Structure 1
Amino acid sequence: MSAHKPTSVEPTANIPKKPYPFWLGGAAASIAASITHPLDLTKVRLQTSGDKGMIQSLRKTVHNNGARGLFDGLTGTLLRQMTYSMTRFAAYDWAKAEVHKGPGPPPAYKMALAGSIAGGIAGIIGTPFETLMVRMQADKAKPFEQRYNYRNSLQGFYRMTSEEGVSSWTRGLGPNAFRSILMNMSQLASYDWFKHELLQAKLLEDGPVLHFVASLGAGTVATTVCSPADVIKSRIMTAHGKGTSSSMDVVKRSLATEGPMFMFKGWVPAWTRLQPTTILIFLILEQLKKGVDVYREAGGQML
């Protein structure tokens, strides 16, 4: 009687998929932020100045500084994306793998937990560059004597450190980290959730249309959840002097002069800016991932 020959097992069947490069999220965010920069600029100026509406603020910027003025502070934005955004996407993928070890996609609460962890890490790392970006964007909306006049992000970071000390790196750390937790909990987790639910219900197939719809929902959720922390953060970061205003001081002062709706000041430009940014980030990120897959299938080893 001949011995039974065991069937061969495909050697790659149980090998987990190689993670995507950690910098893909930062690259996608940088491309998206470059396109939507004028809207982000307008949001910050609405939050920190006396401008009454998005259109008025846009017109004022163009009138005072020309069309190029819509891209004031772009280098600060790019530096921020390649620190904060790169960290949050990389940390989110890591956190999802840590909080969910079982089969299948993680449930919504674990996605939210992973997003919160990623947001906390990225918020701490990105705070100095967030401060720099906000200052560069808000600068020309302020009276001349109150401007920082940073030439670019590197010179601005050097001046911020030399003139105000290393403590300037933590200016607005509390509200910025809190906003970052809210942003990543609401944006990254809700994108994954919308995407999973739409696929589960077989309403859409995996592709650009699905990514667009999921990111549309994620952007709306994130704008609403993050607006109060975003306004407080911007007002603390643009305040002059070495001393910092506490979050409670800003809240009390703003409530007394503007009422509770100050927390949603700039919501429309924030949504208008965050929505296309969110859509672009995820559409670009999905395409970058697809490109990496194609490259690897062709035998590429560098990614």
Structure 2
Amino acid sequence: MSRAVQDAAPPLPAGEKVTSLPAKKKQPYPFWLGGVAATIAASITHPLDLTKVRLQASGDKRMIASIQKTVRTAGFLGLFDGITGTWMRQMSYSVCRFWAYDESKKLIGADNKSPAWKLALAGSMAGGIAGLVGNPGEIVMVRLQGDFAKPPEKRFNYKHCFDALFRMVKEEGVSSLGRGVGPNVFRAILMNASQLASYDFFKAELLKTPYFDDNIYCHFTASFAAGTVATTVCSPADVLKSRIMNASGPGSNSTMAVIRQSFANEGPMFMFKGWVPAWSRLQPTTILIFLTFEQLKNLVDWKRGTQKTPEL
């Protein structure tokens, strides 16, 4: 305490000690903050996600050729086909996974500085919940994005995400909303265990070094590493999910049937089909998600008065 403050402070009664005020517990961030960040990021990278899904569904190999084909036949706006499906998916799946991740960490007594296995466990728990809740939105997104890659007679021709959802229930029954739920939940578990958990892990490790502070440079580096890990870990389940959800014939949506047919036609490396476009899409998406998420948290702190200005 400075001398000026000491002089200004009134004298304490004899025998009474100076006690510091208890630190105010920080309020939790809004549960939907991560979902908003993911929606913003997915909107920006939608053309890459669209190309990845079409490559996985069609078996084509050339990313640039697929993009050129889309632009040539549907114009530049064709790169944003199915954007409403992306929004529906993010506002169901991503809102749920960020919320469930925080709740799972509380449940198992973990925080952002916990060992990697604890963070991965919390991510896996969150992924299982979010994969189940977000499955209808996932199907809608995949179908809207993959429709153009099909022959005209096999297309769904949905107008937007709500049209897709209503027509699926009307034409295929409520059970169609659970199509591919197994691979989707499995992929969601892998994604959240690898993406959310590895971001927290890499960020904590970087902050232990003298080279990084809690700013945009640290967030970028941690999210770059998390995106590469997540792409590699999730590729097999991602390919299976896309192929099963795009199937429309009776019996064609069996996981084992898709695996057998894909192995026979393309060999075991089919599980990494579209890895480059998947990495090209997931990497910037992961970076954008966490950079946006961190800035949204700064904005909330600034609005609450716990931070003077939203800092990078």
TM-score, scaled relative to structure 2:
0.91
State the distance in 1 between where 2:126 and 2:186 align.
Answer: 12
Aligned to 2:6: none
How much has 1:39 moved relative to structure 2?
A: 0.1
Q: CA deviation at 1:16?
A: 2.7
* Matched residue, 2:175: 167
C-alpha distance in structure 2 between counterparts of 1:233 and 1:298, whole Å:
43
Change (3 A) 1:174 1:228: same
Structure 1 pair 97/282, CA: closer, same or farther in 2 (3 Å)?
Answer: same
Distance between the aligned counterparts of 1:165 and 1:242, measured in 2? 13
- Distance (Å, rounded) in 2 between the aligned partners of 1:180 and 1:246: 19
Matched letter for residue 281 of structure 2: R
Distance 2:212 2:102 in 1: 24
The one-letter code sitting in structure 2 at the alignment partner of 1:188 is L
Deviations 1:188-225 (A, max 9, x none): 00000100001012221110010000000000000000
Deviations 1:15-35 (A, max 9, x none): 431110001011000100110
Contact 1:164–1:242 (CA under 8 A) maintained in structure 2 = no
What SS does structure 1 have at the residue aligned with 2:195?
Answer: helix
Q: Which runs of 5+ in 1 are unaligned?
A: none
Supply the AA of the counterpart residue of 1:156.
A
Equivalence for 1:235 = 243
Aligned to 2:148: 140
Deviation at 1:179, TM superposition (A): 0.2
* Larger Rg, first or second structure (1 or 2): 2
Runs (4+) off by over 6 Å? none
Identity %, equivalent residues: 63
Q: CA deviation at 1:9?
A: 3.7
From 111, 119, 125, the counterpart of 1:111: 119
Report how far residue 97 of structure 1 moved.
1.4
The 5 A counterparts of 1:85-96 are 85-96=94-105
Q: Specify which of 181, 184, 190 is matched with residue 189 of structure 2.
A: 181
Structure 2 match to 1:155: 163
One-letter amino acid matched to 1:169: L
Uncovered stretches (5+) of structure 2, i.e. residues with no partner: 1-12, 308-312
CA contact (8 A) 1:171 1:244 kept: no
Distance 1:67 1:96, change over 3 A: same
The CA deviation at 1:51 is 2.3
User: Is the 1:96–1:106 Cα contact (8 Å) retained in structure 2?
Assistant: no
Question: What corresponds to 2:92 in structure 1?
Answer: 83
Indicate whether 1:46 and 2:46 are aligned. Answer: no
CA RMSD of aligned residues (A): 1.6
The answer to whether structure 1 residue 27 and structure 2 residue 36 are counterparts is yes
Q: Where does 1:177-256 land on structure 2 (aligned, <5 Å)?
A: 177-241=185-249, 243=251, 245-256=253-264
- In structure 1, distance between residues paired with 2:239 and 2:174: 24
Letter in 1 for 2:305: E
CA separation in 2, counterparts of 1:282 and 1:104?
14
Residue matched to 2:302: 294
Displacement, 1:249? 1.5
Tell me the alpha carbon deviations over residues 41-65 of structure 1, each in whole angstroms, 9 at most, x when there is no partner. 0000000114221001001111111
